[in-house]
Amino acid sequence: MHRDDDEVIVRRWTGLQWLVALLGAAAVAVAMGIPSALIANPFFVRMIPAPWWSYAVWLATAALSGVLLATYVRRPATLPPSPARAGLIANVGSFLAVGCPVCNKLVIAAFGVSGALNLWAPIQPLIAVAALALLVWALWRRVAALRACPLPASAVTAATVPTPPVELDAGHP
């Protein structure tokens, strides 16, 4: 990716795309922060304190997810959907990485409390790195696809103007 090409794409963003990026990042931050208790709340309590890197992963995931989501505003229909799936998988991975290991019922059921602390907790930073790498890859693929197949302004206008239905003569099939 060339830096100039990326700047051009971001400079072409509409106010709606910036709004979607900000709202998407906020939504991901809240959706991850409340159940993982990175945001203090009365509904969820961590049994062990969050490590320092959880906050960095949480904020990076929210920011990257917001930007990725904004790239889908007025997207061309011909682009492959695979980066969206990768982004979703990366968000789930990040959620598992920043969550409390002894608060996760699936981890406790699979490994027990001792296993959650001795097996799951040590691999959470690796899950975080993998999830962030997948999210960066999804964003890179999306930006590369937009750069390779940009949607011209005339196509956006043509796509938003409804076309009248075609009427056929009653005598012709």
Rounded CA-CA distance 108/43 in Å is: 20
Which tens digit of pLDDT belongs to each residue from 18-30? 999 999 999 999 9
The overall pTM is greater than 0.85: no
Which tens digit of pLDDT belongs to each residue from 71-121? 888 655 555 555 678 888 999 999 999 999 988 888 899 999 999 999 999
pLDDT over 60 at 70, yes or no = yes
Q: Name the residue among 90, 41, 37 with its Cα closest to residue 61.
A: 90
Rounded CA-CA distance 87/140 in Å is: 11
Average pLDDT over residues 131-153: 81
pLDDT over 50 at 141, yes or no = yes
pLDDT over 70 at 163, yes or no = no
Q: Name the residue among 23, 76, 144, 115 with its Cα closest to residue 31.
A: 23
Chain position carrying tokens 């059921």: 109
Per-residue confidence band for 1, with pLDDT thresholds at 50, 70 and 90: very low
Question: What pLDDT, on a 0 to 100 scale, did the predictor assign at position 64?
Answer: 95
